[in-house]
Structure 1
């Protein structure tokens, strides 16, 4: 087993992020050096705004969070499959607090979930926040459908996990990549290493470096993320392990204009 660490030198936050509701819950990290692609560290595709993740699709979440509500965090990367939930069903379960920037996954009976912060309790993080919701398309490519955001406890019945819906924020992400002229980091942990699509199979961005999506979408919804310098030293760790029981944490470290961005 080999661990690879990176320092975070800049943090890009969405300017409309709301701490109470967790709306617009997305950020990008600029690392101190590029991620080296290897058989165990591979990119994931970012979906286009028009990409549809059908309800009922089984996807995968991973993280080092608590193994049960109120429990201790894990020192071994965990994985579990969850099912995408219809927006209206999840909205009813959460008394209509689900916004268009949110995506729900899990099961009505509970039992499988990420351990994420409880809404209105920002200090209740249980370790899985920001982790990937990765979905495999029929083409064999993995797409980042969401990011672990919030929920009501862990794996409670009729309380699905709530994720940041990447398709709703893809323009802001792409605009930030283009305007920052920086190397950014996005992470994915797929189910099996052999199922990961190589970077060359992911389409390049449909926006050129001279035409950021801000020009195509003038509404404030698509402003680039705010950049903040990292005041405290932060690190990002990846685990490389060839065993069958360990999950392969992968990443995409695209530079501007590279097809490895996996943006559609």
Structure 2
């Protein structure tokens, strides 16, 4: 399905944080027409303002990023999904020795995480208040570790 964008609204505070992490790298796209929902096309819940995802929450990351340990590895030809977990920013700071700004969610897992080429893709979790729908975060470029825990836009 192809639906043109009518309007794109980027976050007014988009930019690079002092420790070189991109922050607020998110936009909302208004489509030019309504779409019909199906069992394959469903809306997502957006997180509430200042909603914190507790540490060790289950999340799912999808993307076409590299699947090897090297930056020059080939991107996946197929869409991949990995189950991962969230870290509190304090735990991320302590484990990976990097200061994570409050507007960034730290997440990942030693058995699988987002990697280069996954930026901009969805990170979802299933909250109790969302009637079976998942809330959405966005995978961000990061500087923590290649294909290890990553920073995600809240």
Which range, TM-score by smaller chain?
0.7 to 0.9
* Greater than 3 Å deviation, 4+ residue runs: none
Aligned to 1:95: 98
Distance 1:100 1:112, change over 3 A: same
Q: Which has the higher helix share?
A: 1
| CA-based RMSD | 2.2
Aligned to 1:49: 49
Structure 1: unaligned runs, 5 residues or longer: 116-125, 166-264
Measured after TM superposition, the shift of residue 145 of structure 1 is 4.7
Aligned to 1:14: 11
C-alpha deviations, 1:82-123, integer Å up to 9, x for none?
011121011232421x1110001112xx231111xxxxxxxx
Aligned to 1:141: 132
The CA distance in 2 between the partners of 1:9 and 1:94, in whole Å, is 42
2:134 is paired with a residue whose SS is: strand
TM-score (norm 2): 0.81
* 2:21–2:142 Cα contact (<8 Å) kept: no
TM-score (norm 1): 0.50
* 1:47–1:144 Cα contact (<8 Å) kept: yes
Structure 2: unaligned runs, 5 residues or longer: none
C-alpha deviations, 1:229-248, integer Å up to 9, x for none?
xxxxxxxxxxxxxxxxxxxx
2:15 is paired with a residue whose SS is: coil
Please tell me whether Structure 1 or Structure 2 has the larger radius of gyration of its CA atoms. Answer: 1
Measured after TM superposition, the shift of residue 9 of structure 1 is 4.1
Count of equivalent residues: 146
The CA distance in 1 between the partners of 2:111 and 2:139, in whole Å, is 16
- Work out which structure has the larger RCO, using CA pairs closer than 8 Å and 6 or more positions apart in sequence: 1
Measured after TM superposition, the shift of residue 17 of structure 1 is 0.9
Measured after TM superposition, the shift of residue 138 of structure 1 is 4.0
Question: Following superposition of structure 1 onto structure 2, how do residues 210-249 of structure 1 map, counting pairs within 5 Å?
Answer: none
1:155 and 2:152 correspond: no
